[in-house]
Amino acid sequence: MELQFLGTSAGTPTKRRNVSGLAVKKVNQKSWILVDCGEGTQQQILHTPLSLVRLQAICITHLHGDHCYGLPGLLASASLMGRTEPLTLIGPAPLQAWLTLTQQVSQLVLNYELHFVDVVGLTHAIEVAGFMISAHPLSHRVPSFAYQLVEIGLPRHLDKEKLVAKGIASGPIWGQLHRGETVTLADGRRLAGPDYWLPTRVARHIIIAGDNDRPDLLAKASVACHLLVHEATYTQEIADKVGPKPQHSSAKMIATFAQEVGLSNLLLTHFSPRYQAQSSGLTIEDIEQEARAYYSGTLHLAEDLAIYHLDSNGHLSQRHFQ
């Protein structure tokens, strides 16, 4: 599966980083899921192969503007581009009221249905674009959530040796068993398809968190998780200067958590613009160095438009977007 960041800056965009937006999809599939939609997200999408017509769902982590102000424009553009398929929109309940009002005052009529799902009710997973999606509450100044995506539809393979050993020759019966059907042979034996499937590989399981100052809230969800995408807005030194009010995580906080729960892959994002201002003397390497000091797994600091590939063995690598 692939994750492409459309924005990695916290609060305001910078020349190199837009505000939050992240595309998730299976490799070689055109359908995709958008997590957060800061202002300018649709402009970033124009620099990718992603299509608003093939977008299956939008998941909004919380209602701060840098995570959702791009939504009305993106929805309007999808309509102008000819989208007619319904679109699932998951987020906190006031999102629906805000969009309805925006549609009314700007007389925006969409050519497709929006299926709104209140994130609070998403303790039970729903199926979207080849994933089961569920949500976990976080700690922030407004209700904020992490989305957990578990892939489904893993490739299925027949246990050919077992079939041959039972005297079942290759033919249409193999196809029926592969599809999971129950087959009655000429000699009266009944075979159930699933009994002849090889064990599938482990489904990939990722968590994409919204703003959060309590990484420990994800401890249970992180068991068996292959990848956590989490904010690291500041280094600890700046977090201490700023104080606890903004309710963000430092690189140290999230790296320490990832180390404690044994996460194999950590992708950091949502960096304060002060780390890109030459005048401040602070750089993104400050965040990276701090995270590496507390976490020994595979670590990446997200860049806008970069693609991160999580392979079927759970290895994470970066592909620079061209």
Contact residues: Zn ion, CB under 5 A? 64, 211
Q: Are strands 2-7 and 21-25 parallel, antiparallel or unpaired?
A: antiparallel
250 within 8 A of 230, measured Cβ to Cβ: no
DSSP assignment letter at 203: P
Minimum Å gap between C-beta 64 and Zn ion is 3
- Closer CB to Zn ion, 98 or 174, in the complex: 98
Minimum Å gap between C-beta 274 and Zn ion is 16
Q: Rounded to 5 degrees, what angle do the CA atoms 203, 209, 215 make?
A: 105
Q: Are strands 265-269 and 227-231 parallel, antiparallel or unpaired?
A: parallel
Residue carrying the six token digits 């000091």: 293
Take residue 158 and report the two structure tokens written for it: 């027949």
Residue 216 annotated as catalytic: no
- Closer CB to Zn ion, 145 or 294, in the complex: 145
Catalytic residue among 66, 211, 213, 304: 66
- Closer CB to Zn ion, 141 or 292, in the complex: 141
- Closer CB to Zn ion, 247 or 283, in the complex: 247
In sequence order, the β-bridge partners of residue 7 are 21
Minimum Å gap between C-beta 230 and Zn ion is 13
Candidates 245, 239, 155; CA nearest to 203 is: 155
Minimum Å gap between C-beta 210 and Zn ion is 7
Minimum Å gap between C-beta 231 and Zn ion is 8
Can you say how many angstroms the Cα of residue 301 is from the centroid of all Cα atoms in its chain?
Answer: 16
Candidates 34, 16, 17; CA nearest to 25 is: 34
- Closer CB to Zn ion, 177 or 267, in the complex: 267
Minimum Å gap between C-beta 62 and Zn ion is 6
Q: How does 86-102 read in b/e, with b if 16+ C-beta sit within 10 Å?
A: ebbbbbbeebeeebeee
Candidates 149, 145, 136; CA nearest to 219 is: 136
- Closer CB to Zn ion, 128 or 251, in the complex: 251
- Closer CB to Zn ion, 151 or 211, in the complex: 211
Minimum Å gap between C-beta 180 and Zn ion is 44
**Distance (Å, whole) CA 188 – CA 286:** 70
User: Hey, what's the torsion of the CAs at 46, 40, 59, 244, to 10 degrees?
Assistant: 140
**Distance (Å, whole) CA 132 – CA 318:** 24
Candidates 47, 41, 23, 117; CA nearest to 77 is: 41
Contacts of 260 (CB under 8 A, 6+ apart): none
- The catalytic residue positions are 66
